[in-house]
C-alpha cells in the first residue's frame, strides 16, 4: 500500500497544547479477514513470538479467555486464564522474549483501585489453559480522588507497551470538555504494588474519535504507535524516563470505526482490529507505513 507522506515533525513539550504533525493516507485500510462471530468486542491483539498466532482478548463483561487465531483469521484455540478475573482487560502485549501480558486497567469512571497488569505462562496455541505467573498492581501518581472531578478524568487506560523491563501506559481522556490531552506512565515489569510514575503529558489534536487512545504497540526502531478510531499516531524521540520531548506523527486512516487493537507485524506493517456493531467492524486490517 502506497502512502503519500506530507508532514513536518514538531517538537512537543509537556504543554498539552503542543501541536502534532499530520500525514494523510491515500488508501483505505486493507481488510485481512473478518473476526470470528464470537469475538464481538476485541480490545487488544498481540502476535506470538513466531508470528503464527494472533492472541486476542475482550474487555469487561467477557470471559477470562485469550483467543488464538491463525493468520487467516480462523479461531484455533480458546485459552482459559485459570487464576484471573476479567475486570476490564483493555490491551495485550508481549516483551522482547515473547512473554505475554494483559492490561487489566480499564477504568471508564476513573474510580478503580484494583488496577493491574498480569503476565501469563502462555507459550503455544496448543494450550487449553494458562496461569498468571506475575501480577503488577499499581496506582497512578497524581490521582488522589476516585473519581476525580469530571474536568480531570485522565486515569482510564486502554493502551500499553513493554520495553526494557518497564511498562508504559497511555491514558484515555474521558474528561468533560475533551481536548486530546493524555498522560504517559511508567511501571516496572515486576511482581508487586507500585505507583505508576508520570513521565509525560501530551496532546493529540481533534475530537474524541480522532484523539482518544484505544491501543498501542512498539517496534524495534523504538517507535510507538497509538490507535484512535480514525487515526494512528507515531511517537518517537522519547527517552525511557521522559516522553515530554516526544515527536508525534499523526496518520489519518480515512476510515472511522471502533478500532480497539493494534500490533506491529514488522517495523512498517500494522494489524488493526475493530469491534463489531450492526453494520460495520469486526475485522482485522493491515496498514503499511511507507
Residues 232-285 pLDDT 10s: 999 999 999 999 999 999 999 999 999 999 999 999 999 999 999 888 899 999
Report the Cα 19 to chain-centroid distance in Å.
22
Which among 141, 229, 163, 243 has a CA at the least distance from the CA of 200?
A: 243
pLDDT(9) > 90: no
Calculate the average pLDDT of the chain. 91
Helices (H) and strands (E) in the chain, counts: 1, 22
Give the CATH number of the domain where residue 75 resides. 2.115.10.20
**18-31: average pLDDT:** 58
* Residues whose CB is less than 8 angstroms from the CB of residue 175 and which lie 6 or more positions away in sequence, other chains included: 150, 151, 152, 153, 154, 181
> Which grid cell is 66?
485469550
Whether residue 5 is contained in a domain is answered as no
Confidence band of 28 (pLDDT split at 50, 70, 90)? low
pLDDT(114) > 60: yes
Start-end of H helices in 26-102: none
Whether residue 140 is contained in a domain is answered as yes
Q: What is the pLDDT of residues 212-226, one digit of tens each?
A: 999 999 999 999 999
Q: 206 vs 25, which has greater pLDDT? A: 206
Q: What is the pLDDT of residues 131-169, one digit of tens each?
A: 999 999 999 999 999 999 999 999 999 999 999 999 999
Whether residue 64 is contained in a domain is answered as yes
Residue 208 near residue 152, CB atoms below 8 Å = no
CA distance 225 to 248: 9
pLDDT(26) > 70: no
* Residues whose CB is less than 8 angstroms from the CB of residue 117 and which lie 6 or more positions away in sequence, other chains included: 101, 102, 103, 104, 105, 135, 136, 138, 160, 167, 187
Q: H-helix or E-strand containing 245?
A: none
Whether residue 15 is contained in a domain is answered as no
Report the Cα 118 to chain-centroid distance in Å.
15
Going from the C-alpha of 234 to that of each of 147, 223, 261, the distances in angstroms are: 30, 6, 15
Whether residue 7 is contained in a domain is answered as no
> Which grid cell is 242?
521522559
Q: What is the pLDDT of residues 44-82, one digit of tens each?
A: 999 999 999 999 999 999 999 999 999 999 999 999 999
Task: State which residues form the domain around 224.
Answer: 21-288
pLDDT(16) > 90: no
pTM, to two decimals: 0.92
Q: How many domains does the chain have?
A: 1
Q: Which of 2-11, 119-128, 240-249, 253-262 has the lowest mean pLDDT?
A: 2-11
pLDDT of residue 183: 98
Whether residue 10 is contained in a domain is answered as no
Amino acid at each position: 500500500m502506497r502512502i503519500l507522506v506530507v508532514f513536518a515533525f514538531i517538537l512537543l513539550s509537556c504543554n498539552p497544547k503542543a501541536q502534532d504533525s499530520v500525514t494523510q493516507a491515500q488508501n483505505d485500510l486493507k481488510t485481512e479477514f473478518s473476526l470470528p462471530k464470537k469475538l464481538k468486542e476485541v480490545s487488544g491483539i498481540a502476535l506470538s513470538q513466531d508470528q503464527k498466532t494472533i492472541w486476542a482478548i475482550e474487555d469487561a463483561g467477557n470471559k477470562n479467555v485469550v483467543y488464538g487465531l491463525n493468520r487467516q483469521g480462523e479461531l484455533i484455540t480458546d485459552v482459559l486464564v485459570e487464576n484471573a478475573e476479567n475486570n476490564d482487560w483493555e490491551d495485550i502485549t508481549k516483551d522482547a522474549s515473547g512473554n505475554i501480558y494483559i492490561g487489566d486497567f480499564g477504568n471508564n469512571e476513573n474510580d478503580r483501585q484494583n488496577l493491574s497488569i498480569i503476565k501469563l505462562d502462555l507459550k503455544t496455541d496448543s494450550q487449553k489453559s494458562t496461569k498468571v505467573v506475575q501480577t503488577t498492581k499499581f496506582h497512578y501518581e497524581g490521582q488522589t480522588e476516585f473519581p476525580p472531578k469530571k474536568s480531570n478524568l485522565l486515569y482510564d487506560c486502554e493502551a500499553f507497551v513493554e520495553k526494557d523491563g518497564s511498562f508504559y501506559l497511555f491514558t484515555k481522556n474521558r474528561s468533560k470538555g475533551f481536548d486530546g490531552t493524555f498522560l504517559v506512565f511508567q511501571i516496572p515489569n515486576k511482581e508487586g504494588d507500585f505507583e505508576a510514575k508520570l513521565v509525560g503529558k501530551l496532546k493529540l489534536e481533534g475530537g474524541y474519535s480522532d484523539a482518544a487512545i484505544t491501543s498501542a504497540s512498539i517496534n524495534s526502531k523504538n517507535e510507538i504507535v497509538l490507535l484512535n478510531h480514525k487515526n494512528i499516531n507515531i511517537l518517537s524521540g522519547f527517552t525511557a524516563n521522559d516522553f515530554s520531548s516526544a515527536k508525534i506523527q499523526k496518520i489519518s486512516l480515512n476510515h472511522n470505526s471502533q478500532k480497539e487493537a493494534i500490533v506491529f507485524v514488522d517495523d512498517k506493517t500494522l494489524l488493526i482490529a475493530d469491534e463489531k456493531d450492526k453494520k460495520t467492524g469486526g475485522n482485522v486490517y493491515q496498514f503499511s507505513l511507507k
